[in-house]
């Protein structure tokens, strides 16, 4: 990898010949396969943008010309070309992030990895450059065809088309996929462009014709090919998509031909106006195992064998996602009204199994969470019970729709939030740590957090039976923990996992934190402190039995893997106060900070979410050495009361 070793900044690309650039592209692919197979990460998307990224950094002067990557999971090549070739700790604590990160490099502009936002960023930056007289700077946004299904993209395009005097280049990286194949009308249109026989035939004949004239002819062909609105695209009726937006269009361009991409990008620079450059790429390019993977072409992989692509990670326990996938099929068998909705995540959320058996009852709306939620409200009105399955971090994007379209209309819609809590290597934008705080402000909503597979099935069945309010089921990434049976269940559905003769501490465990709570209980018992452990199952609304149990304990502690601010613990404390219960509450959860990438265990450790740390604090609180202080023991309270009475009756001079 002699060429790759010599590349430490984008400017190192300038003197390379076409042959050297092509060799460099091959070296980068080998590097990606070797490194990402050891650490895991987004392999397929990056294999597809090697030539495109090289061309972008040759034509534009980053960071003088900001390059914005939509979602950012295809930024590995960008990182390599900007001097970051240490992939040994990719996505691990202290290592390189899997997405652009400003703290890593001045070349990284946008850190958020949520799709469809790049054009809005680009519109804002280009407008700022225009208003501050920075007319020599270009703004480049790289957006995938999957992100075109997001409404925010089209909102941005509407504004961009209103002002045609900015140096703004929009590169559509069209590989026909988001995770899975991109769906919808836009996808069909782009697919038509890629596959249209007239386009392919004209391209081939034109290339042969101009090739008869040698190098000058081939140069002329490339120039004509990249003409305004796409010279070749006129013969493919390709201009219709953008014509009404009044945005210049170039393409489609072979995304693996560095020379063709550079010609198109240089022509775009000369327009002095917003330009769309349509680039056709292949996800997983150059790596047969990725290209042959029908599911998602190695969109994201764990540790794999680089020669075969086989997964090197194994677990005997099923994943939360697989349990949900199986239960949805069971529910669909029993209830014809149940249907599934997802936003470009059919396989990652597990709905693909139901789709295989009941394809007419599963809808993939593309990267369009807002539409997914409101569409679900409409389906509920029409007599169905939709189950909307998304990652927990992405429900943030549709909060208004949950509030105003589902809850306000008392629609029976179930939301299943995968990857809730700390997700680990994907970093701040992918932690699903805000859902409990955000969603519990929605009137009449019911939130469930199962502690194991049995409870996931049980609570999902209960959720789809509710037709007059939104329901939520949330669970983390990874394997399901062992089943944890309750000693009893209260009349209002709270599972009591353990009780002690001395009612010192009431531990309220949210979902899979129940296992940690049981460990905390054991540690407290070693110190002579009795603890009751309960799993509310449905954490919102707070069950009356929890209020009554809190009344009889000296202190209450909630343990959750969401943020403490506005979390379940806060809700419990409010309910206790409303009921006149003065038992102190300690809310254990995540800080309201953007948490960096690391393993789930490392993040929990760094935020104090360990049984050892929690038990140590509780011991101090029970002993009255730390706030919040536990209520005194009954005998201590009696002694204090007697002492106070005696003091009050003592004659004073």
What is the DSSP code string of 368-379? -HHHHHHHHHHH
Q: Give the model confidence (pLDDT) of 312-369 as tens digits.
A: 877 778 999 999 999 999 999 999 999 999 998 999 999 999 999 999 999 999 889 9
Tell me the sheet residues that pair with 140: 67, 169
Cα separation, 631 vs 623, whole angstroms = 10
Burial class (CB in 10 A: 0-12, 13-18, 19+), 266: middle
Tell how strand 471-474 and strand 414-418 pair up. parallel
- The rounded distance, in Å, linking the Cα atoms of 403 and 469 is 11
**pLDDT score of 644:** 54
β-bridge pairing 495-498 and 488-489: antiparallel
With pLDDT > 70 as the criterion, what percentage of the chain qualifies? 86
Q: Which residues pair with 498 in a beta bridge?
A: 533
Decide if 597 contacts 426 (C-beta within 8 A).
Answer: yes
Are the beta carbons of 342 and 365 closer than 8 angstroms?
A: yes
Calpha distance 275→263 (Å, rounded): 14
Report, as residue numbers or ranges, the catalytic residues: 283, 369, 397
pLDDT band at residue 651 under the 50/70/90 scheme? low
* Residue 131 in tokens: 């208003």
**Is the backbone of residue 416 left (phi > 0), alpha (psi -120 to 50) or beta?**
beta
Peptide bond just before 252 cis, omega within 30 deg: yes
| Contacts of 238 by beta carbon, 8 Å cutoff, 6+ apart | 193, 196, 199, 230, 249, 251, 252, 278
Q: Spell out a b/e string for 441-451, using b for 16 or more CB atoms within 10 Å of the CB, else e.
A: ebeebbbbbbb
Confidence of residue 164 (pLDDT cuts 50, 70, 90): confident
Digit-coded pLDDT (tens) for 273-314: 999 999 999 999 989 888 888 777 888 888 888 888 888 877
Please report the pLDDT score of residue 202 as a whole number. Answer: 44
- Spatial separation of the C-alpha atoms in residues 589 and 566, rounded to whole Å: 10
CA distance 412 to 383: 9
Most confident segment among 166-175, 224-233, 247-256, 565-574: 565-574
Q: Are 320 and 477 in contact (CB under 8 A)?
A: yes
Q: Which residue has the tokens 């998307």?
A: 45
Query: What is the DSSP code (8-state) at residue 321?
Result: H
Give the bridge partners for 587, in sequence order. 558
Closest CA to 146 of 290, 289, 244, 45: 45
Question: Any alpha helices (H) in 97-196, and if so which ranges?
Answer: 118-131, 151-160, 185-195
Confidence of residue 652 (pLDDT cuts 50, 70, 90): low
- pLDDT on residue 237: 43
Least confident stretch, 139-148, 375-384, 442-451: 139-148
Give the C-alpha separation, 479 to 294, whole Å.
24
Q: Residue 35: what pLDDT?
A: 94
Averaged pLDDT, 31-49: 93
User: Structure tokens of 192?
Assistant: 């038509």
Is the pLDDT reported for residue 222 higher than 50?
A: no
pLDDT given at position 293: 83
Mean pLDDT throughout 609-616? 97
> How many other β-carbons are positioned within 10 Å of the β-carbon of residue 332?
22
- Residue 576 tokens read as 């206790």
Q: How far apart are CA 335 and CA 338, in angstroms?
A: 6
Q: pLDDT of 403-448, one tens digit each?
A: 999 999 999 999 999 999 999 888 888 899 999 999 999 999 999 9
Strands 538-540 and 446-448 come out as: antiparallel
Distance CA 515, CA 480 (A): 11
Residue spans of alpha helices (H) in 197-302 = 197-211, 214-225, 240-243, 258-270, 288-291
d(CA 100, CA 52): 17
Angle at alpha carbon of residue 190, lines to 186 and 196, rounded to 5° = 140
**According to the model, what pLDDT value does residue 459 have?**
98
Residue 533 predicted with pLDDT over 80: yes
Range among 235-249, 416-430, 528-542 with highest mean pLDDT value: 528-542
**In 3D, which of 199, 196, 192 has the Cα closest to residue 176?**
192
Contact between residue 555 and residue 583 where contact means Cβ atoms under 8 Å apart? yes
Q: What is the pLDDT of residue 233?
A: 38
Report the distance separating Cα 563 and Cα 154, nearest Å. Answer: 33
Name the burial class of residue 212, with classes exposed (0-12), middle (13-18) and buried (19+) by CB atoms within 10 angstroms of its CB: exposed
71 falls in which pLDDT band (50, 70, 90)? confident
Mean pLDDT over each residue of the chain, to the nearest integer: 88
pTM here is: 0.85
Instruction: Judge contact between 607 and 595, C-beta under 8 A.
Output: yes
């Amino acid at each position: 990898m002699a060429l790759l070793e010599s590349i430490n900044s984008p400017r190192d690309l300038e003197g390379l010949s076409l042959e050297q650039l092509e060799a460099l592209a091959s070296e980068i692919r080998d590097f990606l396969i070797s490194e990402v197979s050891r650490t895991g990460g987004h392999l397929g998307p990056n294999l597809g943008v090697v030539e495109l990224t090289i061309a972008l950094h040759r034509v534009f002067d980053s960071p003088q010309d900001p390059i914005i990557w939509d979602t950012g999971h295809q930024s590995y090549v960008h990182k390599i070309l900007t001097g970051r070739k240490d992939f040994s700790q990719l996505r691990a604590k202290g290592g390189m992030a899997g997405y652009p990160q400003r703290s890593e490099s001045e070349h990284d502009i946008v850190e958020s990895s949520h799709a469809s936002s790049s054009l809005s960023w680009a519109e804002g930056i280009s407008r700022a450059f225009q208003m501050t007289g920075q007319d020599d700077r270009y703004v480049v946004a790289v957006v995938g065809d999957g992100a075109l299904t997001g409404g925010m993209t089209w909102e941005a395009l509407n504004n961009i088309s209103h002002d045609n005097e900015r140096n703004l280049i929009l590169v559509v990286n069209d590989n026909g996929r988001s995770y899975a194949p991109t769906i919808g009308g836009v996808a069909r249109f782009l697919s038509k462009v890629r596959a249209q026989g007239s386009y392919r035939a004209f391209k081939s004949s034109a290339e042969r014709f101009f090739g008869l004239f040698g190098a000058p002819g081939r140069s002329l062909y490339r120039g004509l090919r990249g003409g305004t609105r796409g010279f070749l695209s006129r013969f493919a009726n390709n201009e219709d998509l953008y014509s009404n937006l009044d945005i210049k269009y170039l393409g489609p361009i072979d995304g693996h031909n560095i020379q063709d991409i550079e010609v198109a990008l240089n022509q775009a620079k000369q327009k002095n106006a917003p330009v769309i450059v349509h680039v056709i790429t292949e996800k997983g390019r150059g790596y047969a195992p990725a290209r042959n993977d029908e599911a998602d072409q190695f969109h994201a992989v764990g540790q794999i064998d680089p020669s075969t692509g086989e997964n090197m990670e194994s677990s005997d326990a099923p994943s939360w996602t697989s349990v949900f996938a199986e239960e949805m099929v069971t529910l669909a068998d029993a209830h014809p009204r149940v249907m599934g909705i997802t936003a470009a995540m059919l396989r990652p959320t597990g709905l693909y199994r139901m789709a295989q058996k009941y394809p007419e009852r599963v809808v993939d709306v593309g990267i369009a969470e807002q539409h997914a939620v409101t569409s679900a409200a409409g389906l509920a009105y029409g007599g169905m019970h939709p189950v909307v399955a998304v990652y927990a971090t992405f429900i943030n994007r549709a909060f208004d729709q949950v509030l105003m379209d589902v809850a306000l209309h008392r629609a029976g819609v179930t939301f299943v939030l995968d990857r809730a809590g700390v997700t680990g290597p994907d970093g701040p934008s992918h932690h699903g740590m805000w859902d409990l705080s955000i969603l519990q402000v929605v009137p009449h909503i019911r939130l469930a957090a199962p502690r194991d597979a049995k409870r996931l099935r049980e609570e999902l069945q209960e959720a789809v039976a509710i037709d007059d309010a939104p329901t939520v089921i949330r669970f983390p990434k990874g394997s399901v923990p062992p089943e944890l049976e309750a000693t009893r269940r209260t009349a209002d559905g709270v599972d009591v996992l353990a009780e002690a003769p001395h009612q010192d501490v009431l531990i309220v465990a949210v979902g899979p934190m129940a296992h940690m709570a049981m460990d905390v209980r054991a540690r407290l018992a070693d110190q002579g402190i009795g603890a009751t452990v309960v799993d509310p199952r449905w954490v919102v609304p707070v069950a009356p039995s929890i209020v009554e149990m809190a009344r009889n304990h000296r202190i209450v502690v909630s343990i959750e893997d969401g943020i403490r601010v506005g979390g379940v613990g806060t809700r419990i404390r409010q309910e206790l106060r409303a009921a006149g219960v003065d038992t102190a509450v300690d809310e254990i959860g995540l800080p309201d900070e953007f948490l960096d990438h690391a393993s789930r265990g490392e993040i929990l450790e760094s935020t104090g979410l360990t049984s050892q740390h929690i038990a140590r604090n509780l011991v101090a609180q029970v002993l009255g050495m730390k706030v919040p202080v536990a209520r005194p023991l009954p005998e201590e309270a009696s002694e204090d009361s007697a002492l106070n009475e005696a003091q009050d009756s003592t004659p004073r001079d």
